[in-house]
Structure 1
Amino acid sequence: MPRFDNQTVLVTGGTGGQGSSHVRAFHAEGAHVVIAGLDEERGAALVDELGTRALAVHLDVTDESSWSAAVAAAEEAFGGLNVLVNNAGVQNPPATVEDTDPATWSRILDVNLTGTFLGIRAAAPALRRAGGGAVVNIASTMALAGTAHYAPYVASKWAVRGLTQTAALELGRDRIRVNTILPGVIATPFIQEPAAGASTAIADFYSPEPFAVPRLGEPADVSGLLLFLASSDASFVTGAEYVIDGGLTLGPALQADAA
């Protein structure tokens, strides 16, 4: 039996490079999928691709009423909500702390951090009504160390780690598990195209050659881990952080001819 038969999964940023991979993976495992995001055209196209058990909803993750409507739509369409994936995120154009526009700072934290907070807040009652479930927050390996020129993004992702652990403590007795995935450099438009206001893509700063696994990550790499954390296979896992980066954060791999 597929792992998510008769379960409903809501994925924010569900039409993006990672989000659409997650949506397809859950759907292939039998889930009802709610594709939540701002790009309604791409959401409708993904619903057409998947056919049955898929619903696209408009969601501005920074807006509390938008969250309430999305969760209500999931329950109305499929009878409940079992999994929330807080995947939506935005990147800031590179700038020093001194040169970062406060409006940019606020925008990045509003989407990446407040959006995650509002998602947990809106989904928790629905997950409780369903008898429990899982929340998985997508952070970043930038949440493990400072990264020059990306202060808003780094700060937002560090904060998601603390929010995850706090929510895990508060919701565990309701059989709601909350975990975090910290992806490294994943080959999606998010890192291959410049952020708004920038001329250089994030991928231009990274070469996978020194990684222990010398390639960029693929969205499917993250989706596989996500399926585990959201499933009953991880029923004893909460408040945990999983790094998936091919060894990027370990440092450069030692080559045999350099030993």
Structure 2
Amino acid sequence: MRLEGKTAIVTGGASGFGAGIARKFAAEGAQVMIVDLDHDGAMAMADELGAGHFGHRANVAKSAEVAEVVATARQVFGEVDILVNNAGITHLPKAMEEVDEEEFDRVFAVNCKSVYLFARELAPFMKLRKAGAILNLASTAAVSPRPRLSWYNASKGWMNTATKAMAVELAPYGVRVNALNPVAGETPLLASFMGEDTPEIRAKFLSTIPLGRFSTPEDMGNAACFLCSDEASMVTGVCMEVDGGRCI
């Protein structure tokens, strides 16, 4: 029960890594608000977690909707102890000049602007309380970029830099900010990362991971639980690679 008495917002929490984090947080005693563009998925995950948890549909790239998420969470929970910025998307693998402007804008709106929007709404309350933990989901793409995913790589590099910048600014207020850098995993985005999902492409991708497997939602949940718990009270500004050695 390392998160007993804590409250948390997990964006993109209806599936993939976000669902793994939400499940782990709930198992460790936190009350979790599942935020997702998929309304039914968010509600289903909240039902799975049980009493004390709830779902909320929102587009995390829209300022009014993010403000509503934070206001609702504070109304239900009283205060928000943990924010997990997990929602993210990618463009399909292609040459950098072939990514159209709409794709580019969408990737940066979801992967980057959402972090700013949540910080704008929630950081003032955390600063007043002099407590809080923020966790951003970046990627090994930020550390060891792959060809043909240039703008996705760049958005995750932004996430790592934002994490360190936020950590330095919020540290005097007792608010910690960290990030996770997972390698690709069994999530709805896997096929998009690889271009297509075939046994041959999977084998080629896995050959670049020393431990020989993809990241799992459980891997992310375990790492996230540590970084957002009081056990990590001296850890801030860290971008932890949970990648089976991919970035070595």
TM-score for the superposition, normalised by structure 1: 0.89
Alignment of 1:1-259 (within 5 A): 2-191=1-190, 193-194=191-192, 200-201=196-197, 204=201, 206-209=204-207, 211-250=209-248
* 2: CA distance, partners of 1:241 / 1:60: 25
Q: Where does residue 255 of structure 1 map in the other structure?
A: none
- Alpha-carbon distance, 1:241 to partner: 1.1
SS at match of 1:214: coil
Runs (4+) of structure 1 exceeding 3 A deviation are none
CA contact (8 A) 1:38 1:60 kept: yes
* 1: CA distance, partners of 2:223 / 2:21: 10
**CA 1:36 to 1:190, structure 2 compared with 1: closer, same or farther past 3 Å?**
same
CA contact (8 A) 2:211 2:244 kept: yes
Q: Percent identity?
A: 33
- Alpha-carbon distance, 1:194 to partner: 3.5
* 1: CA distance, partners of 2:232 / 2:94: 39
* 1: CA distance, partners of 2:15 / 2:125: 25
SS at match of 2:80: coil
Describe the superposition over 1:22-66 as per-residue Cα deviations: whole angstroms up to 9, x where unpaired: 111101111110001111111111122222110111221111111
Which amino acid in the other structure matches residue 142 of structure 2?
A: A
Structure 1 gap segments, 5+ residues each: 251-259
**CA 1:14 to 1:210, structure 2 compared with 1: closer, same or farther past 3 Å?**
closer
CA contact (8 A) 2:47 2:54 kept: no
Which amino acid in the other structure matches residue 18 of structure 1?
A: F
* 2: CA distance, partners of 1:175 / 1:201: 44
* 2: CA distance, partners of 1:185 / 1:28: 24
CA contact (8 A) 2:10 2:18 kept: yes
Number of residue-to-residue matches in the alignment: 246
Which amino acid in the other structure matches residue 216 of structure 2?
A: E
* C-alpha RMSD over aligned residues: 1.8
Of structures 1 and 2, the larger Rg is shown by 1
Larger RCO (alpha carbons 8 Å, 6+ apart):
2
